[in-house]
Amino acid sequence: MTHTLRRLWALDKFAYSLRVFIALAGALLLCWWQDRIELLIPLFLGIIASALAETDDNWLGRLQALLVTLLCFSVAAFAVELLFPYPWLFVSGMALSAFGMILLGALGERYAAIASATLILSIYTMIGVDQRGGEVADVWHEPLLLVAGAAWYGLLSVLWNALFSNQPVQQSLSRLYFELGEYLRIKSSLFEPLRQLDVEGQRLALARQNGKVVVALNQAKETILNRLGHGRPGPKVSRYLKLYFIAQDVHERASSSHYPYNRLAEAFFHSDVLFRCQRLLNQQGKACQALARAIRLRQPFDYADRELALEDLQASLEHLRQQSNPAWKGLLRSLGALAANLTTLDRKLAGASNPDAIADEQDSALLDRSPRSLKDAFERLRQQLTPTSLLFRHGLRMALALTAGYGVLHWIHPTQGYWILLTTVFVCQPNYGATRLRLVQRILGTVVGLVVGWALIDLFPSPLVQSLFAVAAGVAFFATRSSRYTLATAAITLLVLFCFNQVGDGYGLILPRLFDTLLGSLIAGLAVFLVLPDWQGRRLNRMLANTLACNSRYLRQIMQQYATGKRDDLDYRTARRNAHNADAALSTTLSNMLLEPGHFRKDAEIGFRFLVLSHTLLSYLSGLGAHRESLPEDASDGLLERAAERLSASLEEIAASLEQKRPVAIYSEEEEALAKELEQMPEDMDDSHRLVQTQLAHICRQLAPLRTLAAHLLKKELAGAQPLPGQP
């Protein structure tokens, strides 16, 4: 029983759902105790808006955010009440506020959540005024109830953060190690000793999983950063910070490559060495996921039985070396570097069992991307005031969609017409693919919720039972809204039906709710399609350019470390993280492209081939970064410096051509000559220089296929430069 409760407590959404349950149940008990059931709807809506505005923070940061949230909610609710009788003023204020609130997303996740929740609460206020038939004599009543519900949930959230401050850190680190374990599992499949292995398909799956790891890394960093404060971190936070840095190092080593896998499979088809690598990587992936469970359940982590797999791998390598096959010399050196990397990765995972024993990092600073001053905040907002900004486009679409929705509801005067605006806000997303997916989920969830609600209202006519169903539906909404939106929509539809059935006729809401959902979804879909549409293929060249530019900066940082010695300072970690962020962003862009109309995803195949190549390039860079150390003096140092500079310049050159849509050279004699020069290494070269030169040669060999794909994409772009339907 205790173990079950511990596992339940460790679930990501359990604490969130429990807070919502306490808030909704408390409001319900108050309304029943006071015999004022008509207060239930505004209190519930205020609680929902406040929960939507919540972001992770320490208790003090959450308190400050709550005060800002309540201020925004109060202004929005009273503005709606005061402007409601004046349609032109009302719709102008709504459009401008919607546009401004979307732009606030430039300041960070916290401000984006508060702005979005404020917009939703303003529509809740419209629904309340509409329920009163447009009467505004009691202008303070509805806003105070909405803000009271929001304050009640906000206080619960602040108290919860004060009592259980580190629980979100544990959950984010657990999620990070779980995704790392899955990455290692997929990576191990590349060592399958098959001659016809689909390496490109496995690379694509690896690139997609890398995107999930990067998201988990960024979330873990933000969660820890929120608890660092300005002073020295406490023992618990320091422990979590060390686990985060271990995860960063594991990620770099896990994502590294030392040789093309198909050539290794061809050369060592009759040996068990690749099987040994696969087994060890798979075991390390399982260890990461075991560590994830240990962090989540706050249990000790014991990484045992690892020595045997390492010994077997070393024995296989030694057996191959004893055969003295001259054709294997270079391959065996790459396998040796791979084995050394896996050994270090293993040692890192073993150290995670007692992170307190690890010496403090030379530089444990984390990059805080939030605005540092009002001037910085205003500058970020100013930079968004251009049609090229994604936030500007989304804000303009939202403003026009809400204006259109307001015009439609005044034109046809539908029952409960303000649900049209609420649907539009939830369905209208920053890009077409996400909007299309949300539109289908919203309609399907609404239909399911209405059918189930109709059946439950008929089966359980008791107001008390229906109130309990409403609370359960509210909890289900928040437990599923980020992972199963169709189910979340069904749950929130149930809550609305049960609440309105307490004060009126729930049956009378079923058809209007369905009609409003269809109309609001249609308006949102048309807005995304027609108003400055953000087709992913139109910015594919910029995404590819950013990926190569970030890889170039990462390479420069790595080579600096080979000159000065290994140091995980902020500049190096930022360059590494930016390279992986760019790789993940490209993967997300391509996934969104697949949801767009056929004509707009014509370059998706080139994009996915580019993703495989760029992720392979990033793997070779990671391999170079995993072994970085100060190199001894050698005659080849000049070649390495010259090669690194040339490779960085070439990556930047291709990136600039993609960014500016200039023709790019498919073939470079200089790069071909450099690759051959790097591949010719004297037998007496030390292993450190040999490894660096080999990795640089692999990177150089990636340039030709990258140039070919870039040239092909730019040729299609320039050939099809005429305006497309739906484009400005």
Per-residue pLDDT at 727 exceeds 50:
no
Each residue's pLDDT tens digit, 658-707? 998 888 888 888 999 998 888 888 777 777 888 888 899 999 999 999 99
Each residue's pLDDT tens digit, 99-110? 999 999 888 888
Residues in the chain: 728
Confidence of residue 217 (pLDDT cuts 50, 70, 90): very high
Q: State how far the alpha carbon of 703 is from the alpha carbons of 603, 638, 668, in Å.
A: 20, 21, 9
Q: Are 661 and 718 in contact (CB under 8 A)?
A: yes
Q: State how far the alpha carbon of 525 is from the alpha carbons of 257, 406, 410, 431, 434, in Å.
A: 43, 16, 20, 10, 10
Per-residue pLDDT at 204 exceeds 60:
yes
Specify the pLDDT at position 728: 37
Q: What is the mean pLDDT of residues 548-566?
A: 90
CA distance 494 to 454: 9
Each residue's pLDDT tens digit, 30-70? 998 888 888 888 999 999 999 999 988 888 889 999 999 99
Q: What is the mean pLDDT of residues 316-326?
A: 80
Per-residue pLDDT at 323 exceeds 60:
yes
Specify the pLDDT at position 30: 92
Specify the pLDDT at position 726: 39
Q: What percent of the chain lies above the pLDDT cut of 90?
A: 45
Confidence of residue 89 (pLDDT cuts 50, 70, 90): very high
Specify the pLDDT at position 646: 94
Q: What share of the chain is helix, strand, coil (3-state, %, to 5)?
A: 80, 0, 20
Confidence of residue 140 (pLDDT cuts 50, 70, 90): confident
Confidence of residue 91 (pLDDT cuts 50, 70, 90): very high
Long-range contacts of 564-572, Cβ-Cβ distance < 8 Å, separation of 24 or more: 564/630, 565/629, 565/630, 566/628, 566/629, 566/630, 567/362, 567/363, 568/245, 568/248, 568/249, 568/361, 568/362, 568/363, 569/362, 569/363, 570/363, 570/365, 570/366, 570/367
State residue 556 phi and psi, 5-degree precision.
Answer: -60, -40
Q: What is the mean pLDDT of residues 251-265?
A: 81
Measure the CA angle with vertex 32, ends 28 and 33; round to 5°. 115
Q: Are 667 and 721 in contact (CB under 8 A)?
A: no
Give 464's contacts (C-beta < 8 A, 6+ positions apart): 32
- Report the predicted TM-score, pTM, of the whole model to 2 decimal places: 0.90
**Is residue 226 classed as helix, strand or coil in its secondary structure?**
helix
Q: Which residue has the higher pLDDT, 141 or 48?
A: 48
Per-residue pLDDT at 203 exceeds 90:
no
The structure tokens listed for 143 are: 């806003």
Specify the pLDDT at position 136: 53
Instruction: Identify which of 211, 227, 218 has the alpha carbon closest to the alpha carbon of residue 58.
Output: 227
Q: Are 589 and 536 in contact (CB under 8 A)?
A: yes
Specify the pLDDT at position 663: 86
The mean pLDDT of the chain is 86
Q: What is the mean pLDDT of residues 631-646?
A: 81
Per-residue pLDDT at 566 exceeds 90:
no
Give 356's contacts (C-beta < 8 A, 6+ positions apart): 235, 239, 242
Per-residue pLDDT at 311 exceeds 60:
yes
Specify the pLDDT at position 722: 43
Q: State how far the alpha carbon of 500 is from the alpha carbons of 16, 186, 452, 515, in Å.
A: 25, 50, 15, 17
Q: Which amino acid belongs to residue 616? A: T
Q: State how far the alpha carbon of 640 is from the alpha carbons of 559, 668, 674, 693, in Å.
A: 9, 19, 10, 7
CA distance 489 to 23: 20
Per-residue pLDDT at 283 exceeds 50:
yes
**Is residue 290 classed as helix, strand or coil in its secondary structure?**
helix
Confidence of residue 725 (pLDDT cuts 50, 70, 90): very low
Burial class (CB in 10 A: 0-12, 13-18, 19+), 173: buried
Q: What is the mean pLDDT of residues 277-289?
A: 90
Q: What percent of the chain lies above the pLDDT cut of 70?
A: 93
Specify the pLDDT at position 405: 93
Per-residue pLDDT at 449 exceeds 60:
yes
Confidence of residue 141 (pLDDT cuts 50, 70, 90): confident
Each residue's pLDDT tens digit, 495-523? 988 888 877 666 778 888 899 999 999 99
The structure tokens listed for 727 are: 């484009």
Q: What is the mean pLDDT of residues 283-294?
A: 91
Q: What is the mean pLDDT of residues 467-486?
A: 92
Specify the pLDDT at position 360: 63
Q: What is the mean pLDDT of residues 149-177?
A: 93
Q: Are 624 and 696 in contact (CB under 8 A)?
A: yes
Each residue's pLDDT tens digit, 383-409? 999 998 999 999 999 999 999 999 998
Each residue's pLDDT tens digit, 402-437? 999 999 988 887 777 888 999 999 999 999 999 999
Q: Are 145 and 39 in contact (CB under 8 A)?
A: yes
Specify the pLDDT at position 542: 93
**Which of 333-337, 396-400, 544-548 is the least confident region?**
333-337
